[in-house]
Amino acid sequence: MTQDHHAHHHDHSHDPIEAPDTSNSDTALLADALRLVLIEKGGFSAQDVQDQLTLMEGRSDRNGAAMIARAWVDADYKAALLANGKEAAKTLGHDTKGTPLVVLENTEDVHNVVVCTLCSCYPVTLLGPSPEWYKSKAYRGRVVRDPRSVLREFGTDIGNGREVRVHDSTADMRYMILPKRPPETDHLSEAELAALVTRNGLIGVTEL
Amino acid sequence: MAVRFTTGDRVTVRDLEAEEGLRGHMRAPVYCRGMTGEIERLCGTFGNPETLAYGGDGQPAQPLYRVRFQQSQLWPDYTGPTRDSIEIEVYQHWLKAAQP
């Protein structure tokens, strides 16, 4: 990357915390070697690896988005979602494999944001594979102690009249944010509403 | 393991590394140890990751709580509003009732 990469004007958005390319890291090479040995020894097949990758790629933030859109149009579903996220996910056909899901509602008083400081815990079934920045030490280290600055880097300016509440996903819960419904969306269908829900909104680093 | 705390209770996070010489896999982040917060909710009872991580059975299972702390207590140089908070999952054996 050239020194002046960020000096030029651009109007596209990108995640502010960039992670280095680690594909040639010792860890990645070790993982590759281990995989090849395990295939050779019959632990699993190359097809198993491909099947698992396909399964992983099928997990998408559209699942979480559909749950949020339903909550915006159906007060009973919203109550169920906030009371027991895992069961509410199941009613829309998403199985979190026994992992409890805590859904946190953003309001005029509170803005919620999720991190896992210990590793990278994340509701993959509902949000898809986590972005690189979510796993970066920079995000994990900074968002717990200076969340407002990190949120500003994502373009999210939370006024001092609202509480910022960080959720550190350190153990057995997984988290998803119920964002505030964007204004002037009364005329939209549930599917159109779901299209407005972004992955970053479900993590809480942006508002919709 | 019997549930000891309920929503609203004030609790202090122990430092089992310093107090009992615990080593290895621990889930209570260093930055909340010794800090006092409030039980937000009981999440349920789960196997203890300190033994699960090493192929153990995780027994006795531990009640797990979400504990809410004030950011300004955790970080003396915190510049945001004093009402800003952070919620962390902490297992019961890491918690003690806060001194009144």
Read off the pLDDT of each residue in A57-70 and give the average, rounded to a whole number: 92
pLDDT of residue A7: 44
Residues A90-127 pLDDT 10s: 999 988 888 899 999 999 999 999 999 998 889 988 99
Residues B52-61 pLDDT 10s: 999 999 999 9
- Site from B62, B84, B94 to mutate, A interface, most A CB atoms within 10 angstroms: B84
- CA dist A104 and B68 (Å) reads 14
| pLDDT(B65) > 70 | yes
Cβ–Cβ < 8 Å for B6, B42: yes
Closest CB from B74, B80, B90 relative to A148 = B80
A56 pLDDT band, cuts 50/70/90, is confident
Angle between helices A75-83 and A61-73 (to 10 degrees): 130
End-to-end alpha carbon distance in chain B: 25
3-class secondary-structure state, position A43: coil
B98 φ, ψ to 5°? -70, 145
- CA dist A165 and B45 (Å) reads 24
CATH topology of domain A60-203: Nitrile Hydratase; Chain A (3.90.330)
A8 pLDDT band, cuts 50/70/90, is very low
Give the domains, in start order, of chain B with CATH numbers. Answer: 1-64+87-100 (2.30.30.50)
- ipTM over the 0.90 cut-off: yes
b/e burial code for range B19-39 (CB count within 10 A of at least 16 → b): eeebeeebbbbebbbebbbbb
Contact of A132 with chain B, judged by CB distance below 8 Å, is answered with no
Catalytic annotation present for A119: yes
Q: From the CA of B99, how many Å to the nearest CA of chain A?
A: 25
In order of A4, A84, A141, A168, the CA distances from B25 in angstroms are 42, 29, 19, 17
Read off the pLDDT of each residue in B15-39 and give the average, rounded to a whole number: 96
Domain ranges, ordered by start, for chain A: 26-57, 60-203
B1 pLDDT band, cuts 50/70/90, is confident
Contact of B88 with chain A, judged by CB distance below 8 Å, is answered with yes
What are the DSSP calls for A106-146, one per residue? --SSEEEEEE-SSS----HHHH-SPPHHHHSHHHHHHTTT-
Read off the pLDDT of each residue in B78-86 and give the average, rounded to a whole number: 97
Tokens coding A93: 């056909």
Read off the pLDDT of each residue in B28-40 and give the average, rounded to a whole number: 97
